[in-house]
Amino acid sequence: MTIEDEAEYEDRLAKRTRERDLLARQLYEVKHKHADYLSAVTEAVADSIGRINLAPVEPTAFVDSRLYSTGQGRPEHAIALLSDLQTGKLTPDYNSDVARERVMRYAEQIAELVKVQRAHHPVDEITVCMLGDMIEGVDIFPGQQWLIDSTLYDQLFNTTPAILADFLRYLLAHFERVHVLAVDGNHGRIGRKGQYGPMDNADRMLYRIVAMLMRDEPRLDLRMTDPQGERNWYMVGEWGNYRALLIHGDQIRGSNGFPWYGLGKKVNGWASGGIPEPFDDVFMGHYHQLGRMPLNHRSVWANGSTESTNTFAAETLAAQSEPSQWLLFCDPDAGHITASYGVGLR
């Protein structure tokens, strides 16, 4: 290499180094501005919700039920699966108002079914497993803007928090304590895949808003995982000796709409060390089909949806499902589900 070649090489290297440093500074500034933006939004939401005061609910219906319950059996725990509300979605017979009606009908059915169980044994507490897709979103697939009745702002700050708060307050009147376990769905994604980070999920934001709304309720607790830089995609709920893995379900690849092989592969992989926590069963949503799939000694409880008449599913998958959600009862000492109700919401 001549002296001239070496000098030219040094010039090119210096130029590439300057370009690299410039890109690094620009990337830092983008991330910094993004963090500042999210921080400002979080503070604004906390400030506005902080002005809302919801008085704690009196457990009047629970006290009345205890007075007339005669069951002396072993106490059990109610587990309500709540997922795929997709508020904001618009179909021939579904919209945000229908979503509210069906969620509140679910709350009423829970109270009635618990009365039946209490004739045999006490049921003082309930856990609501929120399994994601609580909102529809606005731009996660092409053409979605033609299939919604409200903006992301309305879905996230107006419609859905009010529905969930009313649902939980109704349950607080019928139970001594209400617990909430929450994971994110794919419809909570902001924009198309990869457009924003996995933490920027509207389901996660919604759960934070609901937690702030219910902050003065001493008989309710809401828990979700919040991994840094990752999606809140799973958690394991524990009820005494019983454990269930909570996921949304979009982690499972389907085949022509039927995810049975994918379920077996993923669930067995997670159970054999794919995740560190042990579990007995799986709770999931996403497929809008109410079902139970046994996998040896485990069961996958696939939740339904509150929606109805999905024309996309009819055309593409030749599938429809009645609006429904699972209500389960667990014996914490025995470590298994004792009763299950597929609650129809039409």
User: Concatenated DSSP letters for 90-135?
Assistant: -BTTB-HHHHHHHHHHHHHHHHHHHHHHHTTS---EEEEEE-S--B
Instruction: Tell me the CB-side half-sphere exposure of residue 102, using CA atoms within 13 A.
Output: 27
Indicate whether 252 pLDDT > 70.
yes
Round to whole Å and give the CA distance between 99 and 109. 15
If phi > 0 it is left, if psi is from -120 to 50 it is alpha, else beta; for residue 325 that is beta
Q: Which residues contact 167 (CB under 8 A, 6 or more apart)?
A: 82, 103, 104, 106, 107, 128
* Residue scoring higher pLDDT (38 or 304): 304
Partners of 242 in the beta sheet? Answer: 239
Which band of pLDDT confidence, cut at 50, 70 and 90, is reported for residue 346?
confident
Exposure string of 98-107, with b = 16+ CB inside 10 Å and e = fewer, is: bbbebbebbb
**Per-residue pLDDT band at 312 (split at 50, 70, 90):** low
Domain 58-344, CATH number (from 3.40.50.1000, 3.60.21.10, 3.90.25.10, 3.40.720.10): 3.60.21.10
Q: What number of other Cβ atoms are within 10 A of residue 339's Cβ?
A: 15
pLDDT range class, residue 214, cuts 50, 70, 90: very high
244 pLDDT more than 90? yes
Q: What is the mean pLDDT of the chain?
A: 86
- CA-closest candidate to residue 109, choices 346, 283, 290: 346
Q: Which of these ranges, 69-73, 93-97, 158-162, 270-274, has the smallest mean pLDDT?
A: 69-73
Give per-residue pLDDT as tens, 197-210.
Answer: 778 899 999 999 99
The most confident of the ranges 4-18, 127-141, 231-245, 251-265 is 231-245
**CB burial of residue 230 (10 Å; 0-12, 13-18, 19+):** exposed
Which of the listed ranges 100-114, 178-192, 228-242, 313-327 does the model predict with the highest average pLDDT? 100-114
Q: Which residues contact 330 (CB under 8 A, 6 or more apart)?
A: 76, 77, 78, 79, 239, 240, 242, 336, 337, 338
How many other C-beta atoms can be found within 10 angstroms of the C-beta atom of residue 1? 8
DSSP string, 228-274: TTS---EEEEEETTEEEEEE-STTSPPBTTB-HHHHHHHHHHIIIII
Domain assignments of the chain as residue spans, ordered by start: 1-51, 58-344
Rounded to whole angstroms, the Cα distance separating 99 from 7 reads 70
Q: What is the pLDDT of residues 134-148, one digit of tens each?
A: 998 887 777 777 678
Closest CA to 341 of 73, 109, 177: 109
Q: Compute how many other C-beta atoms are within 10 angstroms of the C-beta atom of residue 197.
A: 14
Contact predicate 324/342, CB 8 Å: yes
Q: Which residue has the higher pLDDT, 36 or 185?
A: 185
Instruction: Summarize pLDDT for 48-86 with one digit per residue, the tens.
Output: 566 566 788 999 888 888 766 777 889 999 999 999 999
Tokens 């007339």 locate to 68
Q: How far is CA 283 from CA 32, 54, 161, 168, in A?
A: 37, 31, 23, 20
pLDDT at position 313: 64
pLDDT surpasses 70 at 186: yes
Out of 2-6, 105-109, 161-165, 292-296, least confident range: 2-6
Phi, psi dihedral angles at 82 (to 5 degrees): -130, 115
Alpha-carbon 134 to chain mean position = 6
Distance of alpha carbon 207 from alpha carbon 85, whole angstroms: 14
pLDDT at 240: 97
Residue 204's nearest CA partner among 52, 328, 37, 38 is 38
